Structure 1
Amino acid sequence: MDLQKERELFENHLKKMGKTDNETFSKNEDDSYQMDIIHFGWKIWQAAKAQAVPNTQALHDRLLVKSIREHVESHISEISVNNLFDKGWLAAMKCIQNNIDMLEAQEPAND
């Protein structure tokens, strides 16, 4: 998000809290807030927004893939290729396993 939009969010947040007037958001020539407390709040706001937010969706996806992989591998080890159905089931499980391998090879490691 660009700085101007972030500044608008900050100012709107303060307005919702009340106790602001037209002078509250006056700025100096260097674009800092004239009121020290507002400038300090803005710096804290920026620092908080700069903190890395963990990508929980990526973690969830990796755990899901790991679970699917373990499930598929357990089925592969249990299949006895005695009939056509078992051969088809084994082929399907190996196909899923190969697709997971390819997906994992494409993902950059962010751990």
Structure 2
Amino acid sequence: MANFKCPCCKEQTLSLKNKFLMGWWGTCNCDQCEARVAAFPWVLMLVSGLHVWNIIWWVGLVIFKGSYHYLAYMAVGWVLIELLNLYFIPLVTLRKRAPKTED
């Protein structure tokens, strides 16, 4: 049921759930090569800004205009941003963690 390719081994080992969680600044491990994978942080920063803008814009319209139908527009915008997050944000392989050393 894997839908997305690992950027390290190029195998389709990442599930939809893993890709969705990486869109919220999470990481996961590839089942094939054990590489740590995350969403590209610079693009993810812009998408996070879109989420904030979406909330501020539509909630502001609800407050100033007094009409709650703008919340439906906010929900549609949220879904569109999540689809952008799932299908267009590239994945990257993270560097290996440094071993813990005792001084």
State the TM-score, normalized to the length of structure 1. Answer: 0.33
| TM-score normalized by the length of structure 2 | 0.35
Structure (1 or 2) with the greater helix fraction? 1
